[in-house]
Structure 1
Amino acid sequence: MEISGSRSFTLSLAFLLLCFCSETCAKSCTSSCGHNHNISYPFRLDDDPKHCGNVMYTLSCESNITVLDIPSSGKYYVQAINYDKKTIRIVDFGLQSNDCSSMPQNIPPNTNLYWSWPSTSIYYLMCSNPLNSSLYVDTAPCLNNTSSSSQPKTYSYVKVGEIEVWDLDEGCSAEWMTLAPVNYVDYSNVSYKDIHNALMYGFDLGFETPYAIRCQGKYWIGSYVSTCFPQTISGFFQFLWQQITGKLSSLLHNDYIGKSFS
């Protein structure tokens, strides 16, 4: 039992040191694509060496444009990455600059890898009658009102901010929803072109957990007990000791459970 425990301790220590070295190597890589000149940990490009970044945060470079593909949502242009705030600013792939008739094509992201950052909701409405309210922004001439011999005329608007079903005027329906940056413009007095420009600026997503944000990227973060340790030699050994004791506790627990059912 003593030999087995010593071996488990040695293997755990070697494993943790290997993980530490792997993370250090992963953080040493930088890449560039278009105007994003410092793509670094946890991000990586799909053609970077395998040891670079975190594979879960893989970006692609398409026609010299940095692209983020979120499977549950869709593709986004990456406008900027703020490594201090731990945010990534993205633009819907359906939007085109200098073309206010282009519309967002993705539903807002919902993923464990990224978390919501303050943003402004933009709802696209279709109405059977024209509206006369400051709550709604007419999308014309960017998005033309439609009519045909077989279909009655419809009118297109956007609503800035949250909306409830009972807030909709009679004959109106919400067709789409997207996100815009907070306070990019005075949304109480804008044209649709202003809103389109705000959408082209992009909205932020956080790419680390709120706890990691609290540690401000200056500390080791213990995985067994969420604790911030200073990135000093002393802090590293405190972090390492917590990882070792946590790992050993897990191994002993699993060994006990295994014997209980054997």
Structure 2
Amino acid sequence: MRNIRLHFAFSIIFIILSHCAKYCKANDSCPPTFCGSITNISYPFRLRGDPENCGDPSYELACENNRTILYLSSNRYYYVQSISYNNFSIRVLDSGLEKTSCDSYPINTPLSYYTSPELYDLGTYNLYENTPIVYTRCEAPAKSPLYVDTSSCSKNISLQKYSYVVVGDVTFADFEDSCRIHTMAWISKDFPIVANSTFSDIQDGLAYGFVILWQQDYCRECVAKKGYHCDYNGSTGTFSCVDYNYYNYYHPPCTIFEPSTFRLKHECLWEIWLELEDYWMEYGSTLEKIIGKR
């Protein structure tokens, strides 16, 4: 009987240790790994192929052709430029952009709901880390000095004549009648974009990448709580768990324009774009059929 109890006890211990070896956070026992220029890959991140007890599988990165890659869906990925464990941020580069190519073009941005909000913060607070870049197409030459001509990179079919980019905050009056928004991208505010920047300067900024925030364990636990929001403080680089009612009181819903200046607030561009993208995904196929019949 005593032997049976000992055998049972050792079996339980073995199961617990086996489970922990697979799922417990063993960041202290796992040295940082590297891929290309990214030499500090550690918990919660891990590289594909690392031991199972290293890092969090939800934050798995890939190493392909000596470049660290973040997959946010099966066919959309970003090159990792740097990881900051101090402010929980990761700087990434759209896979359609290359610093050495003038006519490179963002193919994955803006980010949207195809990634899990428990892993990466893609909301309003994330936008404070970046400068918005708006790609426009116009039927006539734009007159506003805010429009940066992209014709120098006319090899790309998406950057043809009367195509421009607008950097940063814009007012309603800045959008000329013949121009339409084509897509959007972001540049990290760590890369300075000055007045009168050329399209080449902007391309360099796009090649530098943009910042998204990854959520630490504390924040993920907060998001799992019903009725709570994980609030990021950009000045301190910390998260706090806030009741939704408190959060909504101090963070009213986004309004498109500033009432006093009628200025289009760039933090709202994110919400506008997601609404348009959501609408297109729901009704796009129907619209294409209707247009195709004409």
TM-score, normalised by the number of residues in structure 2: 0.59
Alignment of 1:1-262 (within 5 A): 22-29=23-30, 30-71=32-73, 74-110=76-112, 111=115, 112=117, 113-116=119-122, 117=126, 118-143=129-154, 154-162=161-169, 167-182=174-189, 184-208=191-215, 212=219
Cα contact 2:147–2:166 (8 A) shared by 1: yes
Deviation sequence 1:149-207 (CA, Å, 0-9, x none): xxxx8411001124577642122111111111125223422000100100111111111
The 1:145/1:48 distance shift into structure 2, 3 A limit, reads closer
Deviations 1:23-58 (A, max 9, x none): 441453221100111200000111111111011101
SS in 1 for 2:153: coil
**Structure 2 CA distance for aligned equivalents of residues 130 and 158 of structure 1:** 13
Could you list the runs of 5+ residues in structure 2 that have no partner in the other structure?
1-11, 229-294
Secondary structure in 2 matching 1:78: strand
Report if the CA contact (8 A) 2:130-2:211 is conserved. Answer: yes
Most deviating of 185-194 and 203-212: 203-212
Taking only aligned residues, the RMSD between alpha carbons, in angstroms, comes to 3.4
Give 1:4's aligned residue: none
Alpha-carbon distance in structure 2 between the residues aligned to 1:49 and 1:20: 10
CA gap 1:26/1:129 in 2 versus in 1, 3 angstroms: same
SS in 1 for 2:207: helix
- Cα distance in structure 2, aligned partners of 1:33 and 1:120: 28
Following superposition, the deviation at residue 109 of structure 1 comes to: 2.1
Q: Deviations over 1:129-150 (max 9, x none)?
A: 111211111112123697xxxx
Identity %: 38
Contact conserved, 1:33 with 1:61, CA < 8 A, in 2? yes
Q: Which runs of 4+ in 1 moved over 6 A?
A: 18-21
Greater mean alpha carbon deviation, residues 88-97 or residues 154-163: 154-163
Q: Size of the alignment, in residue pairs?
A: 200
- Per chain length, whose mean CA-contact separation is higher, i.e. which structure has more relative contact order (CA < 8 Å, sep 6+)? 1
Tell me how far apart the structure 2 counterparts of residues 27 and 73 of structure 1 sit (CA, whole Å). Answer: 33
- TM-score of the superposition, structure 1-length normalised? 0.66
Judged with a 3 Å threshold, the aligned counterparts in structure 2 of structure 1 residues 54 and 88 are, in CA distance, closer, same or farther, namely same
State the AA in 2 paired with 1:114: Y
CA distance in 2, matches of 1:105, 1:45: 24
- Maintained 8 Å contact 2:23/2:52: no
Aligned to 1:141, the other structure's residue is in SS state helix
Q: 3-state DSSP class of the match of 2:135?
A: strand
- Shift of residue 98, structure 1, vs aligned partner: 1.2
Q: What corresponds to 1:247 in structure 2?
A: none
Instruction: Out of 186-195 and 58-67, give the one that drifted further.
Output: 186-195
The whole-number CA distance in structure 1 between the counterparts of 2:77 and 2:105 is: 14
Aligned AA (2:63) = C
SS of residue paired to 2:151? coil
| Amino acid corresponding to residue 152 of structure 2 in structure 1 | P
